[in-house]
Structure 1
Amino acid sequence: MRASLVQIDVNEAESVDDRRARVAALVRAQRGADLVVLPELWNLGGFAYDAWQPGAEPLDGPTAEAMSAAAKEANVWLHAGSMVERDPDGPLFNTSLLFAPDGELHAVYRKIHRFGFDSGEAALMAAGQEVCVVDTPFGRMGLATCYDLRFPELFRAMLDRGAELFVVPAAWPARRAEHWALLARARAVEEQALVLACNTAGTHGGVPQAGRSVVVDPWGAVLAEANGGESGSSEEVLTVDLDPSVVARTREEFPVLRDRQKW
Protein backbone atom coordinates (compact mmCIF):
# COMPACT_ATOMS: atom_id res chain seq x y z
CA MET A 1 0.00 0.00 0.00
CA ARG A 2 1.11 3.57 -0.61
CA ALA A 3 0.28 6.07 2.12
CA SER A 4 0.57 9.85 1.90
CA LEU A 5 0.53 11.93 5.08
CA VAL A 6 -0.21 15.59 4.33
CA GLN A 7 1.42 17.78 7.00
CA ILE A 8 -0.69 20.90 6.47
CA ASP A 9 0.57 24.37 7.35
CA VAL A 10 -2.31 25.93 9.30
CA ASN A 11 -1.77 29.64 8.74
CA GLU A 12 -4.24 32.00 10.38
CA ALA A 13 -3.84 34.46 7.52
CA GLU A 14 -5.59 31.95 5.23
CA SER A 15 -9.38 31.78 5.37
CA VAL A 16 -11.07 28.52 6.28
CA ASP A 17 -12.74 28.38 2.85
CA ASP A 18 -9.42 28.90 1.08
CA ARG A 19 -7.69 26.29 3.21
CA ARG A 20 -10.48 23.79 2.64
CA ALA A 21 -10.17 24.25 -1.13
CA ARG A 22 -6.37 24.04 -0.97
CA VAL A 23 -6.42 20.86 1.10
CA ALA A 24 -8.97 19.25 -1.21
CA ALA A 25 -6.58 19.98 -4.09
CA LEU A 26 -3.71 18.42 -2.13
CA VAL A 27 -5.80 15.28 -1.60
CA ARG A 28 -6.67 15.10 -5.29
CA ALA A 29 -2.97 15.42 -6.11
CA GLN A 30 -2.31 12.17 -4.21
CA ARG A 31 -4.11 10.08 -6.84
CA GLY A 32 -2.13 6.85 -7.07
CA ALA A 33 -1.85 6.53 -3.29
CA ASP A 34 -4.02 4.02 -1.46
CA LEU A 35 -4.44 5.96 1.78
CA VAL A 36 -4.17 9.70 2.43
CA VAL A 37 -4.05 11.09 5.98
CA LEU A 38 -4.66 14.69 7.12
CA PRO A 39 -3.92 16.24 10.54
CA GLU A 40 -6.16 17.16 13.45
CA LEU A 41 -8.39 20.27 13.22
CA TRP A 42 -6.58 21.52 10.12
CA ASN A 43 -9.53 23.59 8.93
CA LEU A 44 -9.78 25.80 12.06
CA GLY A 45 -6.58 25.17 14.01
CA GLY A 46 -5.93 22.93 16.98
CA PHE A 47 -5.28 25.85 19.33
CA ALA A 48 -7.56 28.43 17.69
CA TYR A 49 -10.15 28.12 20.46
CA ASP A 50 -12.10 31.24 19.54
CA ALA A 51 -12.77 29.80 16.07
CA TRP A 52 -14.26 26.52 17.22
CA GLN A 53 -17.78 27.54 18.18
CA PRO A 54 -18.50 29.69 15.09
CA GLY A 55 -16.65 27.28 12.79
CA ALA A 56 -18.19 24.02 14.02
CA GLU A 57 -19.95 21.88 11.39
CA PRO A 58 -22.28 18.88 11.23
CA LEU A 59 -21.06 15.59 9.75
CA ASP A 60 -22.56 16.57 6.40
CA GLY A 61 -21.13 20.10 6.45
CA PRO A 62 -18.80 21.79 3.95
CA THR A 63 -15.58 20.16 5.20
CA ALA A 64 -17.00 16.65 5.05
CA GLU A 65 -18.55 17.38 1.66
CA ALA A 66 -15.25 18.67 0.23
CA MET A 67 -13.26 15.74 1.62
CA SER A 68 -15.75 13.18 0.36
CA ALA A 69 -15.52 14.65 -3.14
CA ALA A 70 -11.72 14.78 -3.01
CA ALA A 71 -11.48 11.14 -1.89
CA LYS A 72 -13.75 10.07 -4.72
CA GLU A 73 -11.91 12.09 -7.35
CA ALA A 74 -8.51 10.81 -6.20
CA ASN A 75 -9.87 7.27 -5.72
CA VAL A 76 -8.21 6.97 -2.31
CA TRP A 77 -9.08 6.02 1.22
CA LEU A 78 -8.98 9.35 3.02
CA HIS A 79 -8.56 9.85 6.73
CA ALA A 80 -9.63 13.49 6.64
CA GLY A 81 -8.01 14.36 9.96
CA SER A 82 -10.49 15.87 12.38
CA MET A 83 -12.90 18.78 12.53
CA VAL A 84 -14.97 20.53 15.16
CA GLU A 85 -18.31 18.76 14.99
CA ARG A 86 -21.47 20.41 16.23
CA ASP A 87 -23.83 17.79 17.57
CA PRO A 88 -27.49 18.57 16.79
CA ASP A 89 -28.16 18.61 20.54
CA GLY A 90 -25.44 21.12 21.28
CA PRO A 91 -22.02 19.72 22.33
CA LEU A 92 -18.87 20.14 20.28
CA PHE A 93 -16.70 17.12 19.47
CA ASN A 94 -13.24 16.69 17.97
CA THR A 95 -14.32 14.29 15.24
CA SER A 96 -12.28 12.29 12.74
CA LEU A 97 -13.74 11.14 9.43
CA LEU A 98 -12.61 8.21 7.28
CA PHE A 99 -13.84 8.16 3.67
CA ALA A 100 -13.77 5.25 1.23
CA PRO A 101 -12.64 5.74 -2.39
CA ASP A 102 -16.25 6.06 -3.51
CA GLY A 103 -16.62 9.09 -1.23
CA GLU A 104 -18.80 7.30 1.32
CA LEU A 105 -18.19 8.01 4.99
CA HIS A 106 -16.75 4.75 6.32
CA ALA A 107 -16.04 5.61 9.96
CA VAL A 108 -16.41 8.39 12.53
CA TYR A 109 -14.27 8.71 15.66
CA ARG A 110 -14.89 11.29 18.38
CA LYS A 111 -11.73 12.00 20.35
CA ILE A 112 -11.87 10.40 23.79
CA HIS A 113 -9.01 12.17 25.58
CA ARG A 114 -9.30 15.96 25.42
CA PHE A 115 -6.20 18.06 26.02
CA GLY A 116 -6.06 21.12 28.26
CA PHE A 117 -6.81 19.78 31.74
CA ASP A 118 -9.27 22.46 32.92
CA SER A 119 -9.16 24.69 29.84
CA GLY A 120 -8.97 24.60 26.04
CA GLU A 121 -10.27 21.44 24.44
CA ALA A 122 -11.07 19.85 27.80
CA ALA A 123 -13.43 22.73 28.64
CA LEU A 124 -14.88 23.44 25.21
CA MET A 125 -15.57 19.96 23.83
CA ALA A 126 -17.36 16.83 24.95
CA ALA A 127 -15.47 13.54 25.16
CA GLY A 128 -16.12 10.73 22.73
CA GLN A 129 -17.19 7.43 24.27
CA GLU A 130 -16.51 4.83 21.58
CA VAL A 131 -13.34 2.99 20.66
CA CYS A 132 -13.15 2.90 16.86
CA VAL A 133 -11.61 0.04 14.86
CA VAL A 134 -12.78 -0.59 11.30
CA ASP A 135 -12.05 -2.92 8.42
CA THR A 136 -10.09 -1.55 5.46
CA PRO A 137 -8.21 -3.17 2.57
CA PHE A 138 -5.02 -2.59 4.59
CA GLY A 139 -6.23 -4.46 7.67
CA ARG A 140 -8.13 -3.50 10.80
CA MET A 141 -7.54 0.22 11.37
CA GLY A 142 -7.68 1.83 14.80
CA LEU A 143 -8.47 5.55 14.99
CA ALA A 144 -6.99 7.85 17.63
CA THR A 145 -6.31 11.59 17.79
CA CYS A 146 -3.33 13.56 19.15
CA TYR A 147 -3.50 13.51 22.99
CA ASP A 148 -4.91 9.95 22.79
CA LEU A 149 -1.33 8.92 21.96
CA ARG A 150 -0.42 9.34 25.64
CA PHE A 151 -2.90 6.68 26.79
CA PRO A 152 -1.70 3.13 26.06
CA GLU A 153 -4.88 1.62 27.45
CA LEU A 154 -6.82 3.03 24.48
CA PHE A 155 -4.41 1.36 22.06
CA ARG A 156 -4.69 -1.92 23.95
CA ALA A 157 -8.47 -1.64 23.66
CA MET A 158 -8.10 -1.20 19.90
CA LEU A 159 -5.65 -4.11 19.78
CA ASP A 160 -8.27 -6.27 21.52
CA ARG A 161 -10.68 -5.32 18.71
CA GLY A 162 -8.21 -6.58 16.12
CA ALA A 163 -6.31 -3.40 15.18
CA GLU A 164 -3.29 -3.93 12.93
CA LEU A 165 -2.52 -0.30 12.08
CA PHE A 166 -3.25 2.98 13.79
CA VAL A 167 -3.90 6.34 12.16
CA VAL A 168 -3.29 9.32 14.44
CA PRO A 169 -3.96 12.88 13.23
CA ALA A 170 -2.62 15.57 15.54
CA ALA A 171 -2.02 19.24 16.26
CA TRP A 172 0.99 18.54 18.48
CA PRO A 173 3.00 21.58 19.63
CA ALA A 174 6.69 22.08 18.87
CA ARG A 175 7.68 22.39 22.52
CA ARG A 176 6.79 18.73 23.06
CA ALA A 177 8.09 17.41 19.73
CA GLU A 178 10.23 14.73 21.37
CA HIS A 179 7.20 13.33 23.21
CA TRP A 180 5.39 13.05 19.87
CA ALA A 181 8.25 11.12 18.28
CA LEU A 182 8.74 8.86 21.28
CA LEU A 183 5.06 8.03 21.81
CA ALA A 184 4.41 7.19 18.15
CA ARG A 185 7.23 4.65 18.29
CA ALA A 186 6.12 3.34 21.69
CA ARG A 187 2.58 2.62 20.50
CA ALA A 188 3.93 0.80 17.43
CA VAL A 189 6.24 -1.39 19.53
CA GLU A 190 3.67 -2.07 22.25
CA GLU A 191 0.95 -3.19 19.87
CA GLN A 192 3.27 -4.61 17.19
CA ALA A 193 1.42 -2.52 14.66
CA LEU A 194 1.95 0.12 12.00
CA VAL A 195 1.50 3.72 13.17
CA LEU A 196 0.74 6.53 10.73
CA ALA A 197 0.81 9.80 12.67
CA CYS A 198 0.08 13.02 10.78
CA ASN A 199 0.74 16.35 12.50
CA THR A 200 0.12 19.97 11.58
CA ALA A 201 2.77 22.51 10.63
CA GLY A 202 2.91 26.27 11.07
CA THR A 203 1.49 28.24 14.00
CA HIS A 204 -2.13 28.58 15.10
CA GLY A 205 -3.57 30.08 18.24
CA GLY A 206 -0.05 31.40 18.83
CA VAL A 207 1.29 27.84 19.25
CA PRO A 208 4.08 26.64 16.90
CA GLN A 209 3.44 23.09 15.67
CA ALA A 210 5.93 20.23 15.80
CA GLY A 211 5.36 18.73 12.37
CA ARG A 212 7.42 15.53 12.21
CA SER A 213 4.60 13.46 10.73
CA VAL A 214 5.84 9.90 10.90
CA VAL A 215 5.28 6.31 9.80
CA VAL A 216 6.55 3.63 12.19
CA ASP A 217 6.72 -0.14 11.66
CA PRO A 218 5.88 -2.81 14.29
CA TRP A 219 9.53 -3.00 15.37
CA GLY A 220 9.57 0.72 16.12
CA ALA A 221 11.63 1.61 13.07
CA VAL A 222 10.85 5.00 11.54
CA LEU A 223 10.07 4.35 7.87
CA ALA A 224 9.54 8.01 6.96
CA GLU A 225 9.46 11.30 8.83
CA ALA A 226 8.57 14.84 7.76
CA ASN A 227 10.36 18.02 8.75
CA GLY A 228 9.84 19.78 12.06
CA GLY A 229 10.73 19.75 15.73
CA GLU A 230 11.16 22.36 18.43
CA SER A 231 12.49 24.85 15.89
CA GLY A 232 9.24 24.77 13.89
CA SER A 233 7.81 23.00 10.88
CA SER A 234 6.57 23.54 7.35
CA GLU A 235 4.08 21.90 5.03
CA GLU A 236 5.15 18.61 3.49
CA VAL A 237 3.62 15.55 1.86
CA LEU A 238 5.20 12.40 3.25
CA THR A 239 4.70 9.35 1.01
CA VAL A 240 5.81 5.84 1.89
CA ASP A 241 5.18 2.35 0.48
CA LEU A 242 4.13 -0.16 3.14
CA ASP A 243 3.53 -3.89 3.36
CA PRO A 244 0.63 -4.42 5.80
CA SER A 245 1.55 -8.12 6.13
CA VAL A 246 4.56 -7.04 8.22
CA VAL A 247 2.21 -6.83 11.22
CA ALA A 248 1.23 -10.52 11.14
CA ARG A 249 4.83 -11.55 10.44
CA THR A 250 6.15 -9.52 13.36
CA ARG A 251 3.56 -10.89 15.75
CA GLU A 252 4.42 -14.43 14.64
CA GLU A 253 8.21 -14.01 14.71
CA PHE A 254 8.24 -12.24 18.09
CA PRO A 255 5.04 -13.35 19.83
CA VAL A 256 5.25 -11.03 22.81
CA LEU A 257 1.52 -10.36 22.77
CA ARG A 258 0.87 -14.00 23.69
CA ASP A 259 2.49 -13.37 27.08
CA ARG A 260 0.24 -10.46 27.89
CA GLN A 261 -1.59 -10.72 31.22
CA LYS A 262 -4.95 -9.00 31.66
CA TRP A 263 -5.59 -7.85 35.19
Structure 2
Amino acid sequence: MRASLIQIAVDEDESVTSRRQRVASLVRDQAGADLVILPELWTTGAFAYEDFAREAEPLEGPTYEVMAKAASDAGVWLHAGSIPERDPEGPLYNTSLVFSPSGDLAAAYRKIHRFGFDKGEAVMMSAGRELVTVRLPGTTLGVATCYDLRFPELFRGLVDAGAETLVVPAGWPERRRSHWTLLAQARAVENQAFVLACGTAGTHARVPQAGHSIVVDPWGEVLAEAGAEEQVLTVDFDPGRVATTRELFPALKDRVL
Protein backbone atom coordinates (compact mmCIF):
# COMPACT_ATOMS: atom_id res chain seq x y z
CA MET A 1 0.00 0.00 0.00
CA ARG A 2 1.27 3.49 -0.83
CA ALA A 3 0.44 6.38 1.50
CA SER A 4 1.19 10.05 0.94
CA LEU A 5 1.16 12.38 3.95
CA ILE A 6 0.85 16.01 2.84
CA GLN A 7 2.51 18.18 5.48
CA ILE A 8 0.86 21.51 4.75
CA ALA A 9 2.36 24.84 5.77
CA VAL A 10 -0.35 27.10 7.16
CA ASP A 11 0.50 30.64 6.06
CA GLU A 12 -1.58 33.35 7.73
CA ASP A 13 -1.30 35.50 4.57
CA GLU A 14 -2.99 32.79 2.47
CA SER A 15 -6.78 32.86 2.46
CA VAL A 16 -8.70 29.75 3.46
CA THR A 17 -10.27 29.64 0.00
CA SER A 18 -6.87 29.77 -1.70
CA ARG A 19 -5.47 27.14 0.62
CA ARG A 20 -8.35 24.77 -0.13
CA GLN A 21 -7.63 25.01 -3.85
CA ARG A 22 -3.88 24.64 -3.39
CA VAL A 23 -4.28 21.59 -1.18
CA ALA A 24 -6.79 20.05 -3.60
CA SER A 25 -4.14 20.35 -6.30
CA LEU A 26 -1.60 18.63 -4.04
CA VAL A 27 -4.08 15.80 -3.45
CA ARG A 28 -4.63 15.38 -7.20
CA ASP A 29 -0.86 15.17 -7.65
CA GLN A 30 -0.93 11.98 -5.52
CA ALA A 31 -2.86 9.96 -8.10
CA GLY A 32 -1.39 6.47 -7.91
CA ALA A 33 -1.27 6.44 -4.11
CA ASP A 34 -3.76 4.30 -2.20
CA LEU A 35 -4.17 6.65 0.76
CA VAL A 36 -3.56 10.39 1.13
CA ILE A 37 -3.56 12.10 4.53
CA LEU A 38 -3.84 15.80 5.42
CA PRO A 39 -3.17 17.47 8.79
CA GLU A 40 -5.49 18.74 11.51
CA LEU A 41 -7.33 22.05 11.03
CA TRP A 42 -5.24 22.98 8.02
CA THR A 43 -7.88 25.44 6.80
CA THR A 44 -7.41 27.72 9.82
CA GLY A 45 -4.40 26.47 11.77
CA ALA A 46 -4.80 24.43 14.92
CA PHE A 47 -3.83 27.29 17.24
CA ALA A 48 -5.75 30.06 15.47
CA TYR A 49 -8.54 29.90 18.02
CA GLU A 50 -10.00 33.26 17.03
CA ASP A 51 -10.66 31.88 13.52
CA PHE A 52 -12.56 28.75 14.56
CA ALA A 53 -16.02 30.29 14.84
CA ARG A 54 -15.56 32.56 11.81
CA GLU A 55 -14.32 29.77 9.53
CA ALA A 56 -16.52 26.98 10.92
CA GLU A 57 -18.54 25.21 8.24
CA PRO A 58 -21.20 22.53 8.07
CA LEU A 59 -20.04 18.98 7.57
CA GLU A 60 -20.92 19.12 3.88
CA GLY A 61 -19.53 22.60 3.43
CA PRO A 62 -16.84 24.08 1.14
CA THR A 63 -13.98 21.90 2.37
CA TYR A 64 -16.11 18.77 2.04
CA GLU A 65 -17.01 19.66 -1.54
CA VAL A 66 -13.46 20.50 -2.63
CA MET A 67 -11.88 17.48 -0.95
CA ALA A 68 -14.54 15.03 -2.20
CA LYS A 69 -13.80 16.12 -5.76
CA ALA A 70 -10.04 15.95 -5.20
CA ALA A 71 -10.33 12.38 -3.88
CA SER A 72 -12.44 11.40 -6.88
CA ASP A 73 -10.13 13.12 -9.38
CA ALA A 74 -7.07 11.39 -7.91
CA GLY A 75 -8.83 8.06 -7.33
CA VAL A 76 -7.48 7.80 -3.77
CA TRP A 77 -8.74 7.19 -0.28
CA LEU A 78 -8.39 10.62 1.31
CA HIS A 79 -8.21 11.42 4.98
CA ALA A 80 -8.83 15.13 4.47
CA GLY A 81 -7.53 16.15 7.88
CA SER A 82 -9.98 18.03 10.07
CA ILE A 83 -12.12 21.15 9.88
CA PRO A 84 -13.89 23.34 12.42
CA GLU A 85 -17.38 21.93 11.95
CA ARG A 86 -20.50 23.80 13.01
CA ASP A 87 -23.28 21.42 13.92
CA PRO A 88 -26.77 22.51 12.79
CA GLU A 89 -27.71 22.79 16.46
CA GLY A 90 -24.86 25.21 17.13
CA PRO A 91 -21.84 23.47 18.73
CA LEU A 92 -18.41 23.45 17.08
CA TYR A 93 -16.44 20.25 16.61
CA ASN A 94 -12.95 19.43 15.37
CA THR A 95 -14.08 16.99 12.70
CA SER A 96 -12.07 14.74 10.40
CA LEU A 97 -13.39 13.69 7.00
CA VAL A 98 -12.47 10.49 5.16
CA PHE A 99 -13.42 10.07 1.48
CA SER A 100 -13.45 7.01 -0.75
CA PRO A 101 -11.83 7.04 -4.23
CA SER A 102 -15.28 7.77 -5.66
CA GLY A 103 -15.50 10.95 -3.59
CA ASP A 104 -18.12 9.61 -1.19
CA LEU A 105 -17.82 10.35 2.52
CA ALA A 106 -16.65 7.12 4.16
CA ALA A 107 -16.45 8.45 7.72
CA ALA A 108 -16.44 11.55 9.91
CA TYR A 109 -14.71 11.65 13.28
CA ARG A 110 -15.27 14.34 15.90
CA LYS A 111 -12.13 14.71 18.03
CA ILE A 112 -12.64 13.28 21.50
CA HIS A 113 -9.74 14.82 23.43
CA ARG A 114 -9.65 18.61 23.03
CA PHE A 115 -6.44 20.47 23.79
CA GLY A 116 -6.17 23.65 25.82
CA PHE A 117 -6.51 23.03 29.57
CA ASP A 118 -9.70 25.08 29.99
CA LYS A 119 -8.99 27.49 27.15
CA GLY A 120 -8.76 27.47 23.36
CA GLU A 121 -10.05 24.32 21.68
CA ALA A 122 -11.00 22.78 25.04
CA VAL A 123 -13.69 25.41 25.65
CA MET A 124 -14.53 26.47 22.09
CA MET A 125 -15.26 23.03 20.68
CA SER A 126 -17.44 20.18 21.89
CA ALA A 127 -16.05 16.70 22.41
CA GLY A 128 -16.83 13.81 20.10
CA ARG A 129 -18.06 10.54 21.60
CA GLU A 130 -17.62 7.89 18.91
CA LEU A 131 -14.61 5.82 17.93
CA VAL A 132 -14.28 5.60 14.15
CA THR A 133 -12.74 2.95 11.92
CA VAL A 134 -12.77 2.76 8.13
CA ARG A 135 -12.34 -0.42 6.12
CA LEU A 136 -10.01 -0.05 3.12
CA PRO A 137 -8.93 -2.80 0.75
CA GLY A 138 -6.15 -4.51 2.67
CA THR A 139 -6.39 -2.72 6.03
CA THR A 140 -8.72 -1.06 8.51
CA LEU A 141 -7.97 2.51 9.54
CA GLY A 142 -8.41 3.72 13.09
CA VAL A 143 -8.99 7.48 13.11
CA ALA A 144 -7.67 9.84 15.80
CA THR A 145 -6.61 13.49 15.94
CA CYS A 146 -3.55 15.23 17.44
CA TYR A 147 -4.01 15.45 21.25
CA ASP A 148 -5.74 12.05 21.13
CA LEU A 149 -2.22 10.66 20.66
CA ARG A 150 -1.59 11.13 24.38
CA PHE A 151 -4.44 8.80 25.40
CA PRO A 152 -3.54 5.13 24.78
CA GLU A 153 -6.97 3.84 25.78
CA LEU A 154 -8.50 5.46 22.70
CA PHE A 155 -6.11 3.58 20.42
CA ARG A 156 -6.68 0.31 22.23
CA GLY A 157 -10.38 0.83 21.60
CA LEU A 158 -9.68 1.34 17.91
CA VAL A 159 -7.63 -1.86 17.80
CA ASP A 160 -10.45 -3.74 19.55
CA ALA A 161 -12.69 -2.44 16.76
CA GLY A 162 -10.38 -3.96 14.15
CA ALA A 163 -7.92 -1.15 13.37
CA GLU A 164 -4.57 -2.15 11.89
CA THR A 165 -3.42 1.26 10.61
CA LEU A 166 -3.76 4.23 12.95
CA VAL A 167 -4.06 7.61 11.23
CA VAL A 168 -3.34 10.76 13.22
CA PRO A 169 -3.61 14.20 11.60
CA ALA A 170 -2.23 16.92 13.85
CA GLY A 171 -1.24 20.52 14.38
CA TRP A 172 1.57 19.70 16.82
CA PRO A 173 3.80 22.51 18.15
CA GLU A 174 7.55 22.48 17.63
CA ARG A 175 8.26 22.91 21.34
CA ARG A 176 6.87 19.41 22.01
CA ARG A 177 8.17 17.68 18.89
CA SER A 178 10.04 15.02 20.90
CA HIS A 179 6.70 13.95 22.41
CA TRP A 180 5.20 13.66 18.92
CA THR A 181 7.80 11.15 17.78
CA LEU A 182 7.86 9.24 21.06
CA LEU A 183 4.09 8.90 21.28
CA ALA A 184 3.70 7.85 17.63
CA GLN A 185 6.20 5.06 18.18
CA ALA A 186 4.60 4.06 21.49
CA ARG A 187 1.12 3.78 19.96
CA ALA A 188 2.58 1.60 17.18
CA VAL A 189 4.46 -0.72 19.54
CA GLU A 190 1.74 -1.21 22.14
CA ASN A 191 -0.95 -1.84 19.51
CA GLN A 192 1.25 -3.68 17.00
CA ALA A 193 -0.12 -1.46 14.27
CA PHE A 194 1.11 1.02 11.70
CA VAL A 195 0.92 4.67 12.72
CA LEU A 196 0.65 7.33 10.02
CA ALA A 197 0.88 10.73 11.72
CA CYS A 198 0.60 13.84 9.55
CA GLY A 199 1.40 17.27 11.01
CA THR A 200 1.49 20.86 9.81
CA ALA A 201 4.48 23.04 8.99
CA GLY A 202 4.98 26.78 9.25
CA THR A 203 3.85 29.11 12.03
CA HIS A 204 0.28 30.06 12.77
CA ALA A 205 -1.11 32.17 15.59
CA ARG A 206 2.57 32.72 16.53
CA VAL A 207 3.03 29.02 17.28
CA PRO A 208 5.81 27.30 15.28
CA GLN A 209 4.70 23.87 14.09
CA ALA A 210 6.67 20.67 14.50
CA GLY A 211 6.26 19.24 11.01
CA HIS A 212 8.09 15.89 11.05
CA SER A 213 5.17 13.79 9.86
CA ILE A 214 6.04 10.19 10.54
CA VAL A 215 5.20 6.62 9.51
CA VAL A 216 5.92 3.90 12.09
CA ASP A 217 5.63 0.14 11.60
CA PRO A 218 4.16 -2.37 14.11
CA TRP A 219 7.61 -2.97 15.67
CA GLY A 220 8.05 0.73 16.33
CA GLU A 221 10.55 1.27 13.53
CA VAL A 222 10.33 4.60 11.69
CA LEU A 223 9.77 3.90 8.00
CA ALA A 224 9.77 7.55 6.93
CA GLU A 225 9.89 10.98 8.53
CA ALA A 226 9.46 14.44 7.06
CA GLY A 227 11.45 17.54 7.88
CA ALA A 228 10.15 20.81 9.25
CA GLU A 229 8.93 22.43 6.01
CA GLU A 230 5.95 21.73 3.77
CA GLN A 231 6.45 18.50 1.88
CA VAL A 232 4.79 15.32 0.71
CA LEU A 233 6.01 12.23 2.54
CA THR A 234 5.29 9.08 0.51
CA VAL A 235 5.92 5.58 1.82
CA ASP A 236 5.10 2.05 0.70
CA PHE A 237 4.12 -0.31 3.50
CA ASP A 238 2.74 -3.83 3.78
CA PRO A 239 -0.44 -3.97 5.90
CA GLY A 240 0.09 -7.73 6.20
CA ARG A 241 2.92 -7.05 8.64
CA VAL A 242 0.35 -6.28 11.32
CA ALA A 243 -0.97 -9.85 11.38
CA THR A 244 2.57 -11.23 11.14
CA THR A 245 3.76 -9.12 14.06
CA ARG A 246 0.80 -10.04 16.21
CA GLU A 247 1.38 -13.70 15.46
CA LEU A 248 5.14 -13.69 16.09
CA PHE A 249 4.86 -11.64 19.28
CA PRO A 250 1.29 -12.15 20.55
CA ALA A 251 1.41 -9.61 23.37
CA LEU A 252 -2.17 -8.46 22.78
CA LYS A 253 -3.37 -11.92 23.77
CA ASP A 254 -1.93 -11.40 27.28
CA ARG A 255 -4.09 -8.38 28.06
CA VAL A 256 -5.78 -8.57 31.44
CA LEU A 257 -7.61 -5.23 31.48
SS at match of 1:40: coil
Map 1:90-169; keep pairs closer than 5 Å: 90-169=90-169
Equivalents in 1 of 2:118, 2:190: separation in Å?
A: 30
- Partner amino acid for 1:260? R
5+ residue gaps in structure 1? 228-232
Equivalents in 2 of 1:217, 1:32: separation in Å?
A: 22
What is the aligned partner in structure 2 of residue 189 from structure 1?
A: 189
With normalisation by structure 1, the TM-score equals 0.97
- Partner amino acid for 1:55? E
What is the aligned partner in structure 2 of residue 69 from structure 1?
A: 69
1:203 equivalent in alignment to 2:203:
yes
Equivalents in 1 of 2:74, 2:167: separation in Å?
A: 19
SS at match of 1:107: strand
Equivalents in 1 of 2:67, 2:137: separation in Å?
A: 20
Equivalents in 2 of 1:72, 1:140: separation in Å?
A: 20
Equivalents in 2 of 1:18, 1:134: separation in Å?
A: 29
What is the aligned partner in structure 1 of residue 249 from structure 2?
A: 254
Equivalents in 1 of 2:121, 2:200: separation in Å?
A: 17
User: Per-residue deviation at 1:162?
Assistant: 1.1
Q: Could you give the per-residue CA deviations for residues 90-118 of structure 1, whole angstroms, max 9, x where no partner exists?
A: 00000000000000000010000000011
Equivalents in 1 of 2:129, 2:98: separation in Å?
A: 18
5+ residue gaps in structure 2? none
What is the aligned partner in structure 1 of residue 223 from structure 2?
A: 223
User: Per-residue deviation at 1:133?
Assistant: 1.4
SS at match of 1:153: helix
User: Per-residue deviation at 1:198?
Assistant: 0.1
User: Per-residue deviation at 1:226?
Assistant: 0.1
Aligned length: 257
Alignment RMSD (CA, Å): 0.5
SS at match of 1:240: strand
Equivalents in 2 of 1:131, 1:201: separation in Å?
A: 27
With normalisation by structure 2, the TM-score equals 0.99
SS at match of 1:201: coil
- Partner amino acid for 2:88? P
Equivalents in 1 of 2:183, 2:212: separation in Å?
A: 12
SS at match of 2:141: strand
Which of structure 1's runs of 4+ aligned residues deviate more than 2 A? Answer: none
SS at match of 2:66: helix
Match of 1:239 among 234, 241, 253: 234
Equivalents in 2 of 1:124, 1:39: separation in Å?
A: 20
SS at match of 1:36: strand
SS at match of 1:9: coil
- Partner amino acid for 1:115? F
What is the aligned partner in structure 2 of residue 230 from structure 1?
A: none
| Identical columns (%) | 67
User: Per-residue deviation at 1:138?
Assistant: 3.2
Equivalents in 1 of 2:242, 2:157: separation in Å?
A: 17
More deviation, 103-112/126-135: 126-135
Q: Could you give the per-residue CA deviations for residues 44-98 of structure 1, whole angstroms, max 9, x where no partner exists?
A: 1100111110100111101010000000000000000000000000000000000
Equivalents in 2 of 1:147, 1:163: separation in Å?
A: 19
User: Per-residue deviation at 1:251?
Assistant: 0.3
- Partner amino acid for 1:221? E
Equivalents in 2 of 1:212, 1:123: separation in Å?
A: 28
Equivalents in 2 of 1:158, 1:137: separation in Å?
A: 18
